[in-house]
Structure 1
């Protein structure tokens, strides 16, 4: 965990949050709402009928209950979901006084979150040092995530649905109220290019998401990943990863799978 100046009370809360978010088989562990478990099981069954491999995680921020499918810890290329970690890291550094975000920085952050602008990510990666973002993975509970190269680059990182969900949950838990509201607002108003994946939960679920996609992975695979939240007060965090390697029209297939998974999970759940 990076050495930002945080109060003992906040640090304790963060540790408790991570403890709740770690997968467990204990009989004492909080149970997800049975109705949502039924939906999650149906979503996983649907995903298994689709080409490729899909990882799914749903975490209840109110109770600490978690549900994940058998591919939740499968490593995939993170693609632009890493931009969410970059933004959360920069906001926390700014809060601690380690850096002072400029108007230019904030414009680049907006472009990354809204339309997943790669040039904006490149600029911030170079400006604030890519290695610093790599060091901050642990701060967000991204214990399995790793960069391909010794000199890390945001576009070449492997992650899991479980890590992405911990990232989303940790960002919501650690940011101060103003920055948390900013992140939520940005993710709930993404551009059309990112209105898929968790977005498929539907308007009543008040979704927010950051998506990642690309065909240019070293193994030639298409990846379509989506991480975000749904519900009043961002009640649930959700991560969906999709690997459609060698699948014809893999990008379209992956996005359809991720969007329909979110729809099965949450369409009609919030009333």
Structure 2
């Protein structure tokens, strides 16, 4: 051990006495260590939120963002979190929640083929799988799914007419980022444990088509997500909703409406960078 001069040792001792006692090893921030200005989020998160706002201001289109700390109940959202945006494939997560509920309650009996289609929707965001399940289980009036979506948090959801022969249809609906935040919370808190475990596992193991958005939090955060992307009459929408952290403590919802100011890649890059700014290095 190198020798230290007496003044250096005195300074070190004074610093220790002023702070109490030094921790034996670094303590990772958890989001609830220091409540910054009564927000429920620590000061590190507050600085991250500021960086996200600055970053989003430089990006094409409009972006709605909601972050939830399920440990404290704190929620942060930006100015566009209540904008109605095309859901794209994020609504497939709500479809799966509904099918699992109906099967558990005995209202339907899911076959092995149905369950394979469910996994395909979650893993690779398979549109054909979604079409098949919508055809089989939306009912004669096609409203069976939509009649239940609000109970999973999609209280602002509006199916859009005039875009398909079937109405309502999963592929043409709009909701808000706040809706997706509530849906993700429902999955993690209200869905029965066995079904929740299935959803969490599938969302953590999505295919390369969906390894962006919330995935950008990084492997240490053990993220899981359901992404959605489509080119609509207003331009591209590129969305991502999911969870990060131990015990899925934090949820993140992002809805990116490009308004013809950019395309799929710009939207994907924006969503992924937001997750990295919010959670990179936190875990």
Which category describes the TM-score, using the shorter chain as reference length? 0.7 to 0.9
| Residue in structure 1 matched with residue 10 of structure 2 by the alignment | none
* Contact kept in structure 2, 1:77 and 1:159, CA below 8 Å: yes
Deviation of 1:170 after TM superposition, in Å, equals 0.6
How far apart, in 2, do the equivalents of 1:42 and 1:115 lie?
31
Match of 2:269 among 256, 260, 263: 256
Deviations for 1:205-248, whole angstroms, at most 9, x for unmatched residues? 11000000011x133x1010000011111101110110112224
Uncovered stretches (5+) of structure 1, i.e. residues with no partner: 1-28
Does 2:242 match 1:228?
yes
| Residue in structure 1 matched with residue 17 of structure 2 by the alignment | none
Does 2:149 match 1:137?
yes
Local SS of the residue matching 2:143: helix
| Residue in structure 2 matched with residue 35 of structure 1 by the alignment | 44
Deviation of 1:30 after TM superposition, in Å, equals 6.3
Match of 2:130 among 101, 121, 125: 121
* Contact kept in structure 2, 1:30 and 1:64, CA below 8 Å: no
Local SS of the residue matching 1:222: strand
Deviation of 1:256 after TM superposition, in Å, equals 0.3
Structure of larger gyration radius: 2
* Contact kept in structure 2, 1:44 and 1:261, CA below 8 Å: no
Does 2:214 match 1:198?
yes
Q: 1:97 to 1:34 in 2, by over 3 A?
A: farther
Give TM-score, length-normalised by structure 1. 0.85
Give aligned pairs, total: 239
Deviations for 1:85-131, whole angstroms, at most 9, x for unmatched residues? 00011111122222221111110000000000000000000100141
How far apart, in 2, do the equivalents of 1:49 and 1:251 lie?
17
Written as runs of structure 1 = structure 2, the 5 A alignment for 1:37-76 is 37-76=46-85
* Contact kept in structure 1, 2:150 and 2:157, CA below 8 Å: no
Give TM-score, length-normalised by structure 2. 0.82
How far apart, in 1, do the equivalents of 2:233 and 2:182 lie?
26
How far apart, in 2, do the equivalents of 1:34 and 1:93 lie?
43
Uncovered stretches (5+) of structure 2, i.e. residues with no partner: 1-37
Does 2:227 match 1:189?
no
* Contact kept in structure 2, 1:30 and 1:63, CA below 8 Å: no
